[in-house]
Amino acid sequence: MRPVKTPIELPIAPMLAKSAKTVPDPDAIDGGYSYEPKWDGFRVIVIRDRAKVELASRSGKSLTRYFPEVVEAVSQYLPEQIVLDGEIVVRRGEPDHQRLDWESLSARIHPAASRIALLARETPAEIIAFDLLALGDQSYLDAPFATRRDALEGIPLASDAPIHLTRTTGDAEVARDWFTRFEGAGLDGVIAKPLAAPYSPGKRIMVKVKHRRTAEAIVIGYRIHKSGKGVGSLLLGLIDEGGELIGVGGIAAFTGARRLELIDELEPLVIRGEDGEAVHAETDRSRFSSSKDISYVPLRPERVVEVAFDQLEGQRFRHAVTFVRWRPDRTPESCLLEQIERAPEYDLGDILT
């Protein structure tokens, strides 16, 4: 990160959230909660010191070079000295039918400068601002969120600026409605922030409530763990409307012991060639896997697993899914894409306005 002058010490870790199953009531904490939508993008600390602009990721790595249009917007629309917490997002769709586009956002992390410039024009990113850490020569880290929010609202923004102030409400019922309704625009859930709490870098002070569902899928293969021992991930499939078995994502995060057990458990399902050796296949190579090993061991599509997931985007699970249990009572033929509950469409523009 380039040296910049601010009233707070940099780099700074963003304040984090702990998971909850339901939206907490306002009186569940001293001082009450403020609620806001949970955006599904890249968390970012935006830092401007006059002509210098930095975009720092949650881990502290710089995102600045990947989003030149965001740097330009920060320089044009935000005060000369400011540090704010927010999210970088990309939207897609026609007016009145827009939603967040994670795939296009992910594609923005590219090593080639020419590609970065092209994507900045084709899939421009925007900032959702939701907390203020410093403004001018004043630090807001020790101020309660209610004060930080008031100061953030006091920053004038042009209506056409690609920088948006996230919505907030003190009404838990409104937040619960957002949780359901805004999912159709690609949002991830709801955040509850203690109104009386200071900004606490790296600490899980907030509460997040995310969408969580389960589905049954067919295990169609596995990848060897990067250590070379055991199953690194299980590849999953579902049957689409045309009766075709399609890949929809995978399960990872197994313990070392479980990785070795899975090799033995799945051995009877391994597809073998005429020489008796396991057949090796490859998944489609993408922009994210140009230098990665995409080979896998294909399995006969006979075993069904129940998984927990956040969202299905297009025909793939939005994030890596979580193993719940084997389902010997379910047949592969019953694992249809149409079983997945999809949120009703909701226009992202209505949330940003």
Instruction: Provide the H-helix boundaries in the chain.
Output: 68-77, 102-107, 113-122, 145-153, 172-181, 256-266, 348-352
Judge contact between 69 and 124, C-beta under 8 A.
yes
Residues 6 or more apart in contact with residue 58 via CB below 8 angstroms = 13, 14, 42, 43, 44
Strand, helix or coil for residue 334 = helix
Kind of pairing between the strands at 304-309 and 295-298: unpaired
**CB neighbours of residue 167 within 10 Å:** 17
Judge contact between 313 and 40, C-beta under 8 A.
no
Strand, helix or coil for residue 105 = helix
- Amino acid found at 242: G
Q: Pick the catalytic residue: 5, 38, 61, 208? A: 38
Burial class (CB in 10 A: 0-12, 13-18, 19+), 163: buried
Please say if 38 is a catalytic residue.
yes
**CB neighbours of residue 303 within 10 Å:** 20
Residues 6 or more apart in contact with residue 56 via CB below 8 angstroms = 1, 10, 11, 12, 44, 45, 47, 62, 63
Residues belonging to the active site: 38
